[in-house]
Amino acid sequence: MHVVIMGCGRLGSTLAQKLDAQGHQVVVIDRDAEAFRRLGDGFGGVTVTGIGFDRDVLRTAGVERADAFAAVSSGDNSNIISARLARETFGVSRVVARIYDSRRAQVYERLGIPTIATIRWAADRMYRFLVPDQRVEVFRDPTSVISIVETPLHRDWIGRTVKALEDRTGARVAYLARFGVGTLAQPSTVLQDGDQVYMLVTDETVDQVLDIAQGADKEGN
C-alpha cells in the first residue's frame, strides 16, 4: 500500500514506523522538517516538508496514487481539511482523521470520514480505570459511543438461543467464547453452561442489558 501521513508527531511517527516495518510505501508530511527526526534512522519511507492541506504538497507526497491517508497533526482544522481533500479531491478510498473535539468528530463521521476523537476516548478509558465497576469492557469504539462488554448469564439462559437473549435485551451478541475459543454466534446458537458472552451496548443501554442477562428470565419459556 502507498500510505500518506499528514503530521509527524508522536502518533504520526509511530504509525509511519509501523507501516514501514510491514513493507508499505509510506510518505510523511510535516511543516517542520525537525519533526522527521522522530522517524529514526531505520525509516525507509519518504518525508515531505510542507503544509498538509496544500494541494501541491499532497501531490508531491503521491496522494493521487495513495491507497490510504491519515491526518494526525495537532490541529483539528488542518486534519479535517487535508482529510476532505484526500477523499473528495484526490479520491483516496481509505481516509482517517484525528480530531480532539468529539463534537466535531461526530459531524465528520456523518460526512463519511472516520475520525479518532482522542480526548474523549482517552478520558473515558482513564475514568474506567479510576472508577472501576462490575463491567468487563473489552472494546470501545473511537467515538466512545459503542462498547463490547462481557455479559454474565443467569442459569435460566442456559439451553436457550442467542436470538432469545437478543430479543429480551434489545442488544446484539458480538461473539461468545466457548471452551476458550472465540465463536461468532448465530441466532440459532444454543447457550451452554460455561459460555462467555460478549454483547454490543451503549452507555445508555448497558445497565439494562446486564440486568436482564444476569437476572432470572421471568418471560422465558
Residue 221's pLDDT band (boundaries 50, 70, 90)? very low
pLDDT in tens, 192-205: 988 999 999 998 99
Q: Is residue 130 part of a domain?
A: no
User: Rounded to whole angstroms, what are the CA distances from 197 to 104, 159, 221?
Assistant: 34, 14, 21
- Residue 76's CATH number: 3.40.50.720
The angle subtended at Cα 76 by Cα 75 and Cα 78, nearest 5°, is 65
Q: Is residue 118 part of a domain?
A: yes
Question: Among 93, 122, 151, which residue terminates a domain?
Answer: 122
Q: What domain count does the chain have? A: 2
204 and 154 within one domain? yes
139 and 109 within one domain? no
- Strand order, beta sheet including 172-178: 136-140, 146-150, 196-202, 172-178, 181-183
- Residue 165's CATH number: 3.30.70.1450
Q: What's the mean pLDDT in 136-147?
A: 80
Q: Is residue 221 part of a domain?
A: no
13 and 93 within one domain? yes
**pLDDT higher than 80, residue 122:** no
pLDDT in tens, 85-100: 999 999 998 898 888 8
Give 34's DSSP letter.
G
Flag whether the pTM goes above 0.75. Answer: no
Q: Is residue 156 part of a domain?
A: yes
Cell reading at 21: 516495518
204 and 116 within one domain? no
